C-alpha cells in the first residue's frame, strides 16, 4: 500500500497535459483575385468583364489591350467594396489575336485572350 502511495505522483505525469485540447480556428485571409474574366467580341468592339473577390482594398482595376505584340490601349475603373466588377471596351474592327492584361494595385491578376481568324 505504501508503494502505491509513493508511485501515485509519478503516475500523474502520464496524463495528457497539452492545453488547449482543441486548437483555435486558423485565420485565413485570401488575397485579391479575379473570380471571373471574359474577353468577347460584340460587332467591332472587344469587351472584357471581370469580377474581384477576396481581401479587397478599394483601388483601380486596370486593363492593357494588345493585338499580337502591339499595345492597343489602356483603361482603368475604380472599384470599392460596393462595386467589385468592371467592364472595359475597345474598338477593334479588325480580327486578330487579342490579349487583355488585368491588374489591381500594380499586381497582374489575369490575362485573357481572344484568337480570331481574319477570314471568319
Instruction: Write the DSSP string, 36-97.
Output: EEEEEEETTEEEEEEEEESS---EEEEEEEEETTEEEEEEEEEE-SS--EEEEEEE--S-SE
Domain definitions of the chain by residue range: 33-115
Q: What is the pLDDT of residues 84-93, one digit of tens each?
A: 999 999 999 9
Strand partners, 88: 48
The predicted pLDDT at position 104 comes to 92
Q: Which residues of the chain have pLDDT under 70?
A: 4, 7-20, 118-120
pTM, 2 dp? 0.72
| Superfamily of chain region 33-115 | Immunoglobulins (2.60.40.10)
The predicted pLDDT at position 15 comes to 61
The predicted pLDDT at position 114 comes to 95
Phi and psi, residue 10, nearest 5°: -70, -35
Amino acid at each position: 500500500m505504501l508503494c502505491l502511495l509513493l508511485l501515485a505522483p509519478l503516475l500523474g505525469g502520464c496524463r495528457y497535459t497539452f492545453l488547449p485540447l482543441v486548437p483555435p480556428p486558423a485565420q485565413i485571409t485570401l488575397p485579391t483575385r479575379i473570380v471571373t474574366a471574359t474577353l468577347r467580341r460584340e460587332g467591332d468592339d472587344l469587351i472584357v468583364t471581370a469580377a474581384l473577390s477576396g481581401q479587397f482594398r478599394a483601388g483601380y482595376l486596370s486593363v492593357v489591350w494588345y493585338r499580337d505584340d502591339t499595345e492597343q490601349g489602356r483603361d482603368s475603373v475604380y472599384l470599392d467594396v460596393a462595386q467589385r466588377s468592371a467592364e472595359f471596351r475597345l474598338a477593334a474592327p479588325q480580327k486578330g489575336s487579342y490579349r487583355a492584361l488585368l491588374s489591381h494595385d500594380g499586381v497582374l491578376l489575369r490575362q485573357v485572350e481572344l484568337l480570331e481568324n481574319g477570314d471568319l
